[in-house]
A and B are shown apart, each in its own frame.
Chain A
Amino acid sequence: MKGLRRAASPLILGLGLFFLYAPIVLLVLWSFNDSRLVTVWGGFSLRWYAALFSNAALMEAAWVSIRIALVSAALATILGTMAALTLTRHGRFAGRTAFTGMAYAPLVMPEVMIGLALLLLFVGLGVDRGFWTVVIAHTTVTMCFATVIIRARLADFDVSLEEAAMDLGATPVRAFFLVTAPLIAPSMAAAFLLAFTMSMDDLVIASFVSGPGATTLPMRIYSQVRLGVTPEINAASSVLIALVVVGLGCAFLLMRRRKPASA
Chain B
Amino acid sequence: MSDRLRGDGVAGAARPAKERIGKPGRAGLGAVRREFAPWADPAATPLIRFEGVCKRFGDAVAIDNLDLSVYRGEFFCLLGPSGCGKSTLMRMLAGFEQPDAGRILLDGVDQAEIPPHNRPVNMMFQSYALFPHMSVAQNIAFGLRQLSLSKADIQARVDEMLTMVQLTPLARRKPHQLSGGQRQRVALARALARRPQVLLLDEPLGALDKKLREETQFELMDIQEELGATFLVVTHDQEEAMVMADRIAVMNQGRIAQLDTPGRIYEEPVSRYVADFIGDVNLLEGAAVGREDGLWRIACPATGGELLVASDAVLTVGQQVVVAVRPEKIRIDRARPTDVANVIPGEVWDIGYLGDWTTYVLKLAGGETLKTSRANVSRHVVEPVTWEETVFASFAPDAAVMLTG
Contacts and interface: CB of A to CB of B under 8 A. Distances in A.
Interface of A: 158, 160-161, 163-172, 174-175, 178-179, 182-183, 260-263
19 contacts: A158-B129, A160-B129, A163-B96, A164-B123, A166-B116, A167-B121, A168-B117, A168-B122, A168-B194, A169-B146, A169-B194, A170-B117, A171-B115, A174-B146, A175-B117, A262-B127, A263-B130, A263-B132, A263-B183
B117 A166 contact: yes
A170 B128 CA distance: 17
Band of interface residues on B = 20 to 34
B130 A169 contact: no
Majority-rule SS of A interface residues:
helix
A72 to B, nearest CB: 29
A158 B176 CA distance: 15
Nearest to A179: B131
A169 B145 CA distance: 9
Contacts of A178: 142
Contacts of A260: 132-133, 176
B55 interface: no
B327 interface: no
Interface in B128-149: 128-133, 142-143, 146-147
Given A161-B131, A163-B116, A168 B125 contact: no
A179 B186 CA distance: 17
Interface in B96-122: 96, 115-118, 121-122
B371 interface: no
B129 A163 contact: yes
B49 interface: no
Interface string B269-302: 0000000000000000000000000000000000
A164 B125 contact: yes
B127 A160 contact: yes
The 8 closest A-B pairs by CB, nearest first: A263-B175, A169-B146, A168-B143, A263-B130, A261-B176, A164-B129, A160-B129, A260-B132
Contacts of A161: 129, 131
Contacts of A169: 117-118, 143, 146-147, 194
Contacts of A160: 125-127, 129
A183 B133 contact: yes
Nearest to B140: A168
A116 to B, nearest CB: 44
Interface string B365-390: 00000000000000000000000000
A218 B123 CA distance: 55
B178 interface: yes
A261 B180 CA distance: 13
Contact of A261 (B126, B132, B142, B191): B132
B132 A167 contact: no
A262 B134 CA distance: 11
B94 interface: yes
Contacts of A179: 131
